């Protein structure tokens, strides 16, 4: 609401200046002069062309008015909003949970000259980044046009919900020494005073704006996490009323370095009789927040021998606050045959690469 009134004041000021000097288009005593439009556009062209991108995002106001959006916008929860992006092939990004729950309050349409996003009956949970960009397509291949984008972070303020609601009451945050860690206690009111607290021992954690900083769009950011930061924390927010407490965050320190999976494989038993059952387990020790995908190659694969595969993972505490993740894939043959004897190969893959391990099962 503040943005809307701010634009109105600026527009009125510019309008009154143009009316005051209708016959002095060639006189430019100061840089604030707005009229004439054609001459001013030419003067500003070099400035505009120096920027890498041009915002194409606008908010539709009442009575058919439009307003270009700045980096942030504050609206009261319950309000509806319509955003438009100029272009014939527009892609949108918005808080992901709106997709997760297929929220009917969200409508996205592509019209001839612009893309349209409408969100009705907004809630505090809708707080987040809303952006759009043009897609440049050549046949089936499309890419983002970096010069035609738009973005704004919208706070849907709600005095009953100072923190952006989350689906859980407890969340794990991994502390990796190689990258910043974020405690995502985002607020719906940008002016709210937010502090970080440790549950035990009960104390407020000081933010020095260097190692620990607060960003209303993200939460508290640990720039250089260490094992000393582990533990359970929560956030407290105050804004013209009783303070509110966020959910709790369990900070776990990560000790495993990044890289392809470190995998091991074990067959039990390694020598089997006909009709025996065998288990071949492939195990990976890795970072808590890194997913591992498993695939198998085995003797009876081409013959389509029936096998069962089970994949699961769990977190383990290795002492001194260090936490790692054990991911495991188990291949099971319930009725071993002679043709099942041979090499069992496990391929474990994460974003950093793949590791292949093998073991042999003999016919006894």
The residue to which tokens 């009323």 are assigned: 241
Banded model confidence at residue 207, pLDDT cuts 50, 70, 90:
confident
Q: Who wins on pLDDT, 217 or 12?
A: 217
Q: In the prediction, which pLDDT does 51 show?
A: 43
Q: What is the pLDDT of residue 319?
A: 53
Write down the pLDDT at residue 176. Answer: 83
Can you give the pLDDT at residue 340? 94
pLDDT, residue 99, reads 75
**pLDDT score for 100:** 65
Q: What is the mean pLDDT of residues 260-287?
A: 91
Residue 20's pLDDT is what? 43
| Tens-place pLDDT, residues 41-58 | 444 444 443 345 567 899
Strands 353-363 and 271-272: parallel
Predicted pLDDT at 52: 54
pLDDT for 27 beyond 70: no
**Does the fold of domain 262-363 match that of domain 170-253?**
yes
CB-CB contact of 299 with 340 (8 Å): yes
Cβ burial of 113 (10 Å; 0-12, 13-18, 19+) is exposed
Residue 224 corresponds to which tokens in the numbers above?
Answer: 């250089």
Q: What mean pLDDT, rounded, does the chain reach? A: 82
Does the pLDDT of residue 279 top 70, yes or no?
Answer: yes
The answer, yes or no, to whether residue 68 has pLDDT greater than 50, is yes
pLDDT band, very low/low/confident/very high, at 164 (cuts 50, 70, 90): very high
According to CATH, the topology of domain 57-157 is Immunoglobulin-like (2.60.40)
Q: Where are the domains of the chain?
A: 57-157, 170-253, 262-363
Question: What single string gives the DSSP state of each residue in 73-122?
Answer: EEEETT--EEEEEESSSEEEE--THHHHTT-TTEEEEE-SSEEEEEE-S-
Q: Residue 207 gets which letter from DSSP?
A: P
CATH second-level architecture of 262-363?
Sandwich (2.60)
- pLDDT in the model for residue 101: 65
Predicted confidence at residue 240, as pLDDT, reads 84
Q: Which of 38-52, 184-198, 341-355 has the weakest average pLDDT?
A: 38-52
Topology classification of domain 170-253:
Immunoglobulin-like (2.60.40)
């Amino acid at each position: 609401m503040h943005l809307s009134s701010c634009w109105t004041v600026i527009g009125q000021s510019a309008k009154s200046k143009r009316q005051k000097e209708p016959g002095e288009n060639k006189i430019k005593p100061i840089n604030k002069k707005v009229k004439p439009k054609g001459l001013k556009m030419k003067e500003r062209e070099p400035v505009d062309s120096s920027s890498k991108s041009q915002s194409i995002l606008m908010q539709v106001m009442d009575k058919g008015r439009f307003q270009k959006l700045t980096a942030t916008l504050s609206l009261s929860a319950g309000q509806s909003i319509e955003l438009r992006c100029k272009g014939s092939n527009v892609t949108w990004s918005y808080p992901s949970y709106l997709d997760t729950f297929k929220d009917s309050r969200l409508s996205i349409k592509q019209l001839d000259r612009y893309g349209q996003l409408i969100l009705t009956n907004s809630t505090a949970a809708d707080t987040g980044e809303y952006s759009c960009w043009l897609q440049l397509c050549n046949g089936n291949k499309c890419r983002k046009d970096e010069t035609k984008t738009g973005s704004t972070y919208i706070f849907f303020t709600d005095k009953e919900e100072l923190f952006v609601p989350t689906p859980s009451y407890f969340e794990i945050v991994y502390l990796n020494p190689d990258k910043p860690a974020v405690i995502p206690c985002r607020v719906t009111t940008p002016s709210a005073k937010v502090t970080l607290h440790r549950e035990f021992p009960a104390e407020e954690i000081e933010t020095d704006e260097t190692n620990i900083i607060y960003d209303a769009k993200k939460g508290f950011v640990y720039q250089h996490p260490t094992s000393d930061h582990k533990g359970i924390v929560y956030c407290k927010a105050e804004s013209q009323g009783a303070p509110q407490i966020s959910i709790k965050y369990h900070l776990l320190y990560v000790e495993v370095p990044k890289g392809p999976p470190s995998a091991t494989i074990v067959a039990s038993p390694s020598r089997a009789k006909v009709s025996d059952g065998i288990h071949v387990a492939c195990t990976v020790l890795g970072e808590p927040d890194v997913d591992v995908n498993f695939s198998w190659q085995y003797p009876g694969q081409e013959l389509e021998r029936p096998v069962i595969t089970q994949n699961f993972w769990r977190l383990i505490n290795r002492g001194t606050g260090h936490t790692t993740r054990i991911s495991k894939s188990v291949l099971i043959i319930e009725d071993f045959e002679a043709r099942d004897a041979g090499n069992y190969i496990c391929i474990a893959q994460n974003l950093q690469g793949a590791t292949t391990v093998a073991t042999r099962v003999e016919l006894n």
